[in-house]
Amino acid sequence: MTASHRLPPEFLQTMAEAIRLLGNGQRLQILEHLDMHGESKVSDIVTALGAQQGAISQHLNKMRAAGLLSSRRHHREVYYAVAAEGAVTILNCLRRKYEEDRRRQ
């Protein structure tokens, strides 16, 4: 029981929609790739994840629309990068959990 005052349902509803964005395996993989390799072009992400180009493009678009990523075009390629530090925070939580799980087993 951590106290603090009540958060409005509408706020929680909005936050729920943002959280749902990260509740997808491929999007987490994209986030991890960008965090590990830094700014990357779409084709590199597609190759690294072995996924379908159209699907990745849609994920990137959603994540950018939500402010998680930024993008810029250079010649023919479009480069994406992590724009919200909060996303990396969550990723680091997952890394810690992974290490803990590994130690336990």
Each residue 9-48 as x (binds DNA by CB under 7 A) or -, in order, gives --------x--x--xxxx--------------xxx--x--
Nearer to DNA, 20 or 96 (CB): 20
Rounded Cα distance, 40 and 56, in Å:
13
Give contact residues for a second copy (rule: CB under 8 A): 1-4, 6-7, 9, 11-13, 15-17, 19-25, 27-29, 32, 35-38, 86, 88-95, 97-98
What lies within 8 Å, CB to CB, of 22 at 6+ separation is 28, 31, 87, 90
Nearer to a second copy, 23 or 54 (CB): 23
Residue in 19, 36, 37, 77 binding DNA, rule: CB under 7 A: 77
Residue in 61, 67, 93, 98 binding DNA, rule: CB under 7 A: 61
**Dihedral, 40, 41, 46, 49 alpha carbons, nearest 10:** 0
Residue 50 interacts with DNA (CB under 7 A): yes or no: no
Phi first, then psi, for residue 50 (nearest 5°) are 60, 40
Identify whether the C-beta of residue 26 lies closer than 8 Å to the C-beta of residue 61. no
